[in-house]
Amino acid sequence: MEENKQKQKNKPSELRQDIVTGDWVVIATGRAKRPEDFAVHKSEGIEEDSGKKCFFCYPEETGQEKDTLIYQTSDGDWSLRVIPNKFPAFTRPSGKAIKHQEEGPYFWMESIGYHEIIITRDHRKQIAQMDKYTVAEVIDAYQERYLDLMNKKSVNYIEIFHNHGKEAGASISHPHSQLVAIPVISPYIKSELDGAEKYWRGNKHCVYCAMAEWEAEKKTRVIFENDEFIAFCPFASRAAFEVWVMPKKHKPYFERTSVNSRIKLAETLQISIRKIYKALDNPPYNFYIHTAPCDGKDYPHYHWHIEILPRTSIWAGFELSTGVEVSTIIPEEAAGFLKDQ
């Protein structure tokens, strides 16, 4: 059994494509488990400690590879560092051509890409508790790593995301974000790209700009805004207290955000998450950046943005069988509650 598990771990991860929908699925063999490991056990939460044994407080002591990026303070300590994920869902390229293979009617290829962890220094202080300049440094790191990876041969899309809380997928309590640079464009992004282009062709206007302009005018779903960014609960919220953060001006590419704009973005993101933190008593949540792909094509119809989804419920049979999500509070009421925090 152990020998089979080791063989499975040594096998490259795979991207398998659903031949009906075209959706991609990652078979992450580097994270292989025994079948019996999937039995459901009572949740014990994320282990909290003083930080002395935390992998992310002292990554060099846990056999981590060299930092791909590190920001240091004036006294020689570090404030942020980016390291390769020790258990990546995607395997870094070896220089060889990516294998594309078929099995009967099915198609798959090696899951090649880059998987990195962005770590902030404080073991306990999450984004809701940071100041905007610390959050701006996190956004700086997002952009710097994005720019470094976007022109790699095997990279066509880069996803940047943050999980907070065990129910949101965070297995380590130390605050951190992740960046995954991959060779395919996800069906979710493709759907957004297609929808944005369709709206543009029909209305000669960006659909995201239309949303931002309407929300800024009506104010009923806005929880915060400054002169460059707006944060609001979307009209068709998929989850209770879902929030989007969006540039007010039309901007397809996150990686082109200027220094001054990154401060304004940090302010909007931090205040949005702080409001969710206070309103829902520190709930688990995910946020992620959706931006135009870096596959060499032009996407003038798209508009980059951040989606924040608190984990206030669990998908059940209806959601899983239909793909239609159920939110249990109207966005207008959710926005009013968040705005008051």
What's the distance, CA 146 to chain centroid? Answer: 13
Of 3.30.428.10, 3.30.300.180, 3.30.70.260, 3.40.190.10, the CATH number of 188-339 is 3.30.428.10
Cα–Cα distance for residue pair 176/183, rounded to 1 Å = 24
Q: How many residues does the chain have?
A: 341
Give the CA-trace dihedral at 89, 93, 94, 99, to 10 degrees: 80
Instruction: Name the least confident of 11-15, 109-113, 256-260, 336-340.
Output: 11-15
* For residue 329, pLDDT beyond 50: yes
281: left (phi over 0), alpha (psi -120 to 50) or beta: left
Bridge partner list, 120: 80
pLDDT in tens, 38-91: 454 444 445 555 545 788 998 877 777 789 999 999 998 999 999 999 888 888
AA letter at 217:
E
E runs forming strands in 195-262: 222-225, 229-232, 243-247
* For residue 7, pLDDT beyond 70: no
Question: Of all residues in the chain, what percent carry a pLDDT higher than 70?
Answer: 88
Q: What is the per-residue pLDDT for 52?
A: 59
* For residue 193, pLDDT beyond 60: yes
Q: What is the per-residue pLDDT for 14?
A: 82
Cα–Cα distance for residue pair 338/341, rounded to 1 Å = 5
pLDDT greater at residue 95 or residue 29: 95
pLDDT greater at residue 218 or residue 21: 218
pLDDT in tens, 107-155: 888 888 999 999 999 999 999 999 999 999 999 999 999 999 999 988 9
323: left (phi over 0), alpha (psi -120 to 50) or beta: left
The set of residues, in sequence order, having a beta carbon less than 8 Å from that of 143 and lying 6+ positions away, is 254, 255, 257, 262
Instruction: Name the least confident of 2-16, 108-122, 170-184, 318-332.
Output: 2-16
pTM: 0.89
pLDDT band at 17 (very low <50, low <70, confident <90, very high): confident
CB of 276 within 8 A of CB of 338?
A: yes
Bridge partner list, 310: 285
Q: For residue 46, count other CB atoms closer than 10 A to its CB.
A: 14
CB of 257 within 8 A of CB of 292?
A: no
What are the boundaries of each domain within the chain?
Answer: 188-339
